[in-house]
Structure formats: C-alpha cells, structure tokens
Amino acid sequence: MAKLKVGILISGRGSNMAALIGASQAADYPAEIACVVSNKADAPGLKIASDAGVATAVVSHRGHADRETFDRALSAELERRGVELVVLAGFMRIFSPWFPVHWANRVINIHPSLLPSFKGLNVQRQALDAGVRLSGCTVHLVIPDLDAGPIIAQAAVPVLADDTDDTLSARILRQEHRLYPLVVRWFAEGRIAIDDGRIEVRDVPPGATLLFSPEP
C-alpha cells in the first residue's frame, strides 16, 4: 500500500523530526517523510534531515507582506512535494487563519504540556510555577487558535520536586519522541476519525492514546 506522504515543519533543533525520520526508516512504517521545511535557514534540524536523505527546503518568513502570504508560500512548497499530512515539530511561527483552514484535519502539532494547560512559550516554567505534579505532551489537530484543537493523544510524566526547566523538558521530550511517531502511524493507517471536533482513534487497544511514564 502507498505510504502516507508527510511534510515536517521545523524552526530549530529537530529532535522530534529526527524521531519521525527514524520511525519512517522501518520498512513496515506506513508513512514516509516527503520533505522537511524550515522557516529558518540555520535550523540545525535541516542538516539532520539531509544527512538522512530527506528532501529539505527553507521558506523564510522574512520578506512576506503578511502572515498569510508566508503561509501560502509554505503551503505551495508542501503541495509541490505531494504532502498529505503536515506535522509541526518545533515550528515556532504563528499561522494566519488561512493555513489551518486550508489544511483542515491534515495538520498536527506536538506541544510540551498536557493541553489545555500551559499554552504558548516557556511551557515547562509555567508548569513548574503552577506546582503541577503531572505534565507531559499533547498531539493535537491544528486550528486557527494557538495551542488548541482536538486532542489526539497525550503522554504524561511526573514533575519532581527538584526539577528545573531543563530536566522537565528532557523528561517530556523523551515521551514526545515516542508519541509523535505513534500518532503519525495512526494517521497513515486511517485510524483517526474526527467527529464534531472530537477525535476517535479506531481499533487501538484501550488506553493507547495516553502514554504514562513514571521514570524520572
């Protein structure tokens, strides 16, 4: 069966992108990475992708009259590569409403908190300041509102008394690298059903959409 063509958008390090590329290298993984596109030419993730033999492109957000013009240029690049699912992996640009509407139900994001808690930036600091005992990451469909949209799956981790932004980020990131390839697999297998703004993941074991990792 033809593999789902995935386009990954990054702005920086690209560790989630690397996890997805790694997963896609397994012969039985049902998705392939058609391209990695960055809005920043110096994103370290670009080299990781090209070293892995994945097509890369830079579409700079600079020099566009407004957000929508940039979004349309980005979208044209993805469409040129035949992308069917857009995967945001540390893509730190806010879209105009046009992009999520154009790619409705075909663009997903990973965010390092248990949404709807802690949106925006400095997310781990927000969690530590709030004193929560549990945090994690969320994969959700992208809608025009920031860090919102139907939740597909989450992974939870403990927040420990001596955590810093860095230790909590690292604990969450390890779960991001497990969760994102799983969700992309479900998309490619046609398991994601969207009904009235809620997501059902069909034919997976009970509890498959919540990972919990108590390891520090």
Q: Residue 58 to residues 107, 110, 143, 152: CA-CA distances in angstroms?
A: 19, 21, 23, 28
Q: How far apart are CA 126 and CA 118, in angstroms?
A: 6
Provide the token pair at 32: 């392939």
Is 111 marked active-site?
yes
User: Whole-number minimum distance, CB 202 to ligand GAR, in Å?
Assistant: 26
Report in angstroms how near the CB of residue 170 gets to ligand GAR at its nearest: 10
Member of 4, 8, 14, 184 binding ligand GAR (CB under 6 A): 14
Compute the least distance from the CB of residue 13 to ligand GAR, in Å.
4
String of DSSP letters for 137-178:
EEEEE--SSTT-S-EEEEEEEE--TT--HHHHHHHHHHHHHH
Cα distance between residue 208 and residue 77, in whole Å: 34
136 touching ligand GAR, by CB under 6 A:
no
Based on the shown chain and the rule CB under 6 A, indicate whether residue 31 belongs to the binding site for ligand GAR. no
Dihedral, CA of residue 119, residue 215, residue 23 and residue 16, to nearest 10:
30
Choice between 147 and 163, CB closer to ligand GAR: 147
Q: Does 90 participate in binding ligand GAR (rule CB under 6 A)?
A: yes
Q: Does residue 173 interact with ligand GAR by CB under 6 A? A: yes
Q: Which of 15, 18, 47, 12 is nearest to 33 (CA)?
A: 18
Amino acid (one-letter) located at 21: I
Q: Contact region for ligand GAR (CB under 6 A) — 22-30, 79-87, 104-112, 183-191?
A: 104-112
Q: According to the binding rule CB under 6 A, does residue 24 interact with ligand GAR? A: no
Q: How many residues bind ligand GAR (CB under 6 A)?
A: 16
Does 16 interact with ligand GAR (rule: CB under 6 A)? yes
User: Which residue out of 61, 102, 111, 177 is catalytically annotated?
Assistant: 111
Asked if residue 111 binds ligand GAR (CB under 6 A), the reply is yes
Asked if residue 112 binds ligand GAR (CB under 6 A), the reply is yes
DSSP letter string, 61-89: STT-SSHHHHHHHHHHHHHHTT-SEEEES
**Residue 112 or 186: which CB sits closer to ligand GAR?**
112
Instruction: Out of 4, 8, 9, 12, point to the residue binding ligand GAR (CB under 6 A).
Output: 12
Q: Is 188 helix (H, G, I), strand (E, B) or coil?
A: helix
User: Residue 109 has which token pair?
Assistant: 């994001």
Judged by the rule CB under 6 A, the positions of this chain that interact with ligand GAR are 10, 12-16, 89-90, 110-112, 123, 137, 147, 173, 176
